Amino acid sequence: MAIRSMFFGSVNGDRKYTSDDFAFLISHFFTTGVLDGADNLRVYVNGNDRVVRVLPGGGCILGRFFFEDGIPEVVFNPSAADPVNNRFDRVIVKWDNQSDQRRVSILYREGIASVTPAPPDLIRDADEYEVSLCKVLVRAGSTTIVAGDLTDERDSASYCGRVKCTAPQLSENYKNINASGSIAASGDISAANITASGTIQGAAFVGAAASVHASQHASGGADPVTPAAIGAAASSHNHDASAINSGTLPISRGGTGATTYLAARAALHITYGTADPSGGTDGDIYFKLI
């Protein structure tokens, strides 16, 4: 039995490591493909010519990372269309480990025009490995390539795929975090409450149920939330008269219960006239004008 181990300090040159050793390590943590992102290595055309363009981006192939910075922009000029038959081409990322290459490059590979055209095959052997970014249809007799002629293959696991980390999760309590994850009552992440901004909505973290957490902060709990703690007034409280700046104060609270002087006079049972007062009830107020 042989164990491949790395990395140890060298004593008199007895421990030497190569780029293949590093790639071997990296490939066990990151899968082959392109990085996430809608525009990462996206192939596009402007629809006015037969030029195929590639946006900046990067990825990893068999443990070798690469990044195209887009300076200058990657452009390809496919050969003229066949006058009779369609043709499928491909935009390819190629990992080449041959001794005279040792690089990752972006290539344009043309197919063969046919009544039943097929895109060119991808090379995948010990020295070369290719992934496809996009399949390009060159229509018979055309002088332009439009957006509808492009088939994005970056998300296809067979032709390309996205780089994924294969390292195990750091904690069993977070074993269910995924694209649709949320925090379930048991503390695991499982349902659909992670927002687009990354905020996790739902129950409590690491084993504590939502109801238990809520009861701790309820009235009578171990750590109750008081009105003062959140800047709120108590349910029963008083205001100084100077703090009243809107609404209508009823007579029972020392006001008039009205918003005009005529209505206030009527509410307070105040009347006037030139004759002697007559009738009325206790509490009425009458002013005699002379």
Each residue's pLDDT tens digit, 148-158: 999 999 999 99
The pLDDT-based confidence of 213 (bands split at 50, 70, 90) is low
Which pLDDT score is estimated for 49? Answer: 96
φ, ψ of residue 285 to 5 degrees: the values are: -120, 130
Tokens representing 55?
């946006």
Question: What average pLDDT score do residues 211-226 get?
Answer: 66
CA 251 to chain centre: 58
Domain ranges in the chain with CATH number 2.60.40: 33-152
CA–CA dist 173, 51 (Å, integer): 50
**Is the pLDDT confidence value at 52 over 70?**
yes
Q: Are 40 and 55 in contact (CB under 8 A)?
A: yes
The pLDDT-based confidence of 1 (bands split at 50, 70, 90) is low
**Is the pLDDT confidence value at 137 over 70?**
yes
pLDDT one-digit tens code per residue, 231-283: 677 777 777 767 777 777 777 776 776 777 677 677 667 776 677 777 677 76
pLDDT one-digit tens code per residue, 180-189: 444 444 444 4
CA–CA dist 58, 54 (Å, integer): 11
Select from 172, 193, 195, 168 the least CA-distant residue to 183: 193
33-152 topology per CATH? Immunoglobulin-like (2.60.40)
Q: What is the mean pLDDT of the chain?
A: 80
Which pLDDT score is estimated for 127? Answer: 95
pTM score above 0.75: no
Residue 115's alpha-carbon distances to 83, 84, 140, 141, in angstroms, are 12, 9, 10, 14
